[in-house]
């Protein structure tokens, strides 16, 4: 039987492809362990917990997370991330009637009346301009942890422009009936605590952060205390 040169070439090519695939597999397999060494707990400093009691008529249902009994595990992010939203300019869809927008990024988030920014009812948003695009790993929001409550239609988005028309990406959406008109959300409603809520941004590169609400289980008004955005500082 005469040797088949074409078959030999195909066999060599297949062996080379298999070797390359195994090489890539080994690289991918060791990456998570290496990446884990570069992670650290998010450097969030939670405020004091509220001293107010627990309401008797807490909301519940399949779309509501139960009240947390203990703190969640720390969110892991690349070492060296900082709150790039600190002191940055904040805007909103309507003028606050309590507090000022500078409070959204001033670092003050204690469960006190003078640490909240209140806006009128309906769908409203608060937005932070980071000043330049940043690689964002986490966004932490405190709406109003003076009381144990659930805020409605919580939607967190990022974009490249202040009007949210360019490269808009939704990081969280618990608007299950699309009442906000931004799409049906699949995330759950959650209770406000002094630890805020951490949203995984997965390293998205963006400049503007916008957070929507539409009232809460206690009030039709919209409230926000603080927005922190964690990213690696620009080199």
Would residue 113 count as lying in a domain?
yes
pLDDT tens sequence across 84-143: 999 999 999 999 999 999 999 999 999 999 999 999 999 999 999 999 999 999 999 999
pLDDT tens sequence across 147-193: 999 999 999 999 999 999 999 999 999 999 999 999 999 999 999 99
**Residue-number span of the structural domain to which 121 is assigned:** 39-231
Would residue 5 count as lying in a domain?
no
Would residue 169 count as lying in a domain?
yes
CA angle 203, 124, 194 (to 5 degrees): 60
The CA distance from 214 to 220, in Å, is: 7
Would residue 17 count as lying in a domain?
no
> Which runs of E-coded beta strand occur in 17-68?
39-41
Q: How confident is the model at residue 8 (pLDDT cuts 50, 70, 90)?
A: very low
CATH number, residue 212 = 2.60.120.260
Q: How confident is the model at residue 21 (pLDDT cuts 50, 70, 90)?
A: very low
Would residue 72 count as lying in a domain?
yes
pLDDT tens sequence across 39-69: 999 999 999 999 777 777 889 999 999 988 8
Would residue 104 count as lying in a domain?
yes
Q: How confident is the model at residue 194 (pLDDT cuts 50, 70, 90)?
A: very high
Would residue 16 count as lying in a domain?
no
> Which runs of E-coded beta strand occur in the chain?
39-41, 76-78, 82-83, 90-92, 117-119, 124-142, 155-159, 169-173, 197-213, 222-224, 226-231
Q: How many domains does the chain have?
A: 1
Residue 35's pLDDT is: 67
Would residue 159 count as lying in a domain?
yes
CB 177 within 8 A of CB 195: no
The CA distance from 190 to 4, in Å, is: 67
């Amino acid at each position: 039987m005469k040797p088949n040169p074409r078959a030999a070439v195909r066999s060599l090519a297949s062996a080379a492809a298999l070797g390359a695939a195994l090489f890539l597999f080994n690289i991918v397999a060791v990456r998570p362990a290496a990446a884990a060494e570069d992670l650290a707990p998010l450097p969030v400093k939670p405020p004091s917990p509220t001293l107010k009691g627990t309401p008797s008529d807490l909301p519940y249902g399949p779309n509501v997370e139960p009240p947390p009994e203990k703190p969640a595990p720390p969110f892991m992010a690349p070492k060296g991330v900082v709150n790039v939203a600190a002191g940055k300019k904040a805007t909103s869809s309507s003028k606050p009637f309590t507090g000022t927008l500078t409070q959204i990024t001033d670092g003050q988030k204690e469960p006190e009346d003078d640490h909240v920014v209140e806006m009128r009812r309906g769908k409203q948003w608060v937005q932070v301009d980071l000043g330049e695009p940043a690689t964002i790993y986490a966004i932490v929001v405190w709406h109003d942890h003076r009381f144990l409550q659930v805020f409605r239609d919580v939607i967190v988005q990022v974009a490249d422009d202040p009007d949210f028309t360019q490269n808009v990406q939704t990081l969280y959406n618990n608007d299950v009936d699309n009442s906000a008109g931004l799409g049906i959300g699949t995330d759950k409603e959650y209770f406000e605590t002094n630890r805020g809520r951490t949203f995984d941004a997965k390293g998205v590169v963006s400049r503007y952060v916008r957070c929507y609400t539409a009232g809460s289980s206690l009030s039709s008004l919209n409230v926000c205390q603080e927005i922190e955005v964690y990213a690696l500082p620009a080199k």
